[in-house]
Amino acid sequence: MRYPAADDAARLFELASNPAVTRWFSWGPYTEVSQAEAWIAAQPAKRDAGEIMDFLVVDPDAGPVGVTGLTEVSKRDGRATVGSWIGEPYWGSGANAEAKALIAALAFRRLGAERLTAWANTRNGRSQRALERVGFRREGVLRAWHRHGDEMHDVVVFALVRSVWERSPLAQVPVTVEGTPPPSFVLG
């Protein structure tokens, strides 16, 4: 994982212009590369403000294959929300599981999180199964939680708490985290 850079725009456009990838999102699909460029350009300010800390999920051979990150940080409660998307050619490749191992290690080991929350559309069984496979536990359904265009969607809320993560296979994945996290994301 790494922060996105300006020269990643064409690749992100390629991945996120696929309607199957962005089907359940509040944005997309991308229709022009300038949308990816604008997203990349906004990232440093959003990290500094504590709004979102997104990373590219990078395959050593293929380059960027998706995005994962943390939002909705609560220092008081020691929690954050994780969100990810992976380009369709990499679905089922293990990229999502590796990305979740990296983001969980960052959140729990470096940032001091006690809980990670994730959501999946109630109609997106693929995303729900992917979260459960890496150790997130289903907690319930939030009605009319997510707006996509003019339509409100229900989502299943999932959680991964520190004590469960510490005993999970996800915590055993070898991970190296380098650099200094933005102060607004340090929870403990």
Assigned domain for 107 exists: yes
Chain centroid to Cα 123, Å, comes to 19
Q: 83 falls in which pLDDT band (50, 70, 90)?
A: very high
For residue range 43-82, what is the model confidence (pLDDT) as tens digits?
A: 999 999 999 999 999 999 999 999 999 999 999 999 999 9
Q: Closest Cα to residue 146, out of 93, 83, 78?
A: 83
For residue range 123-151, what is the model confidence (pLDDT) as tens digits?
A: 999 999 999 999 999 999 999 998 877 88
Rounded mean pLDDT, 161-181: 93
Task: Check residue 150 and give its pLDDT.
Answer: 84
Assigned domain for 35 exists: yes
Task: Check residue 188 and give its pLDDT.
Answer: 81
Tokens of 107: 């959140």
Computed over every residue of the chain, the mean pLDDT equals 95
**CATH code: domain of residue 162:** 3.40.630.30
Residue 9 clears pLDDT 80, i.e. is over it: yes
Assigned domain for 180 exists: no
Assigned domain for 186 exists: no
Task: Check residue 26 and give its pLDDT.
Answer: 85
How many domains are contained in the chain?
1
Matching residue, tokens 């289903």: 138
Q: Closest Cα to residue 67, out of 120, 122, 136, 13?
A: 13
Assigned domain for 183 exists: no
Residue 86 clears pLDDT 80, i.e. is over it: yes
Assigned domain for 77 exists: yes
Domain span including residue 158: 6-173
Q: Closest Cα to residue 96, out of 81, 106, 88, 86?
A: 86
Matching residue, tokens 């380098």: 178
Assigned domain for 185 exists: no
DSSP per residue, the chain: -B---GGGHHHHHHHHT-HHHHTTSSS----SHHHHHHHHHHHHHHHHTTSEEEEEEEETTTEEEEEEEEEEEETTTTEEEEEEEE-GGGTTTTHHHHHHHHHHHIIIIIS--SEEEEEEETT-HHHHHHHHHTT-EEEEEEEEEEEETTEEEEEEEEEEEHHHHHTSGGGGS-----S---GGG---
Decide if 155 contacts 141 (C-beta within 8 A): yes
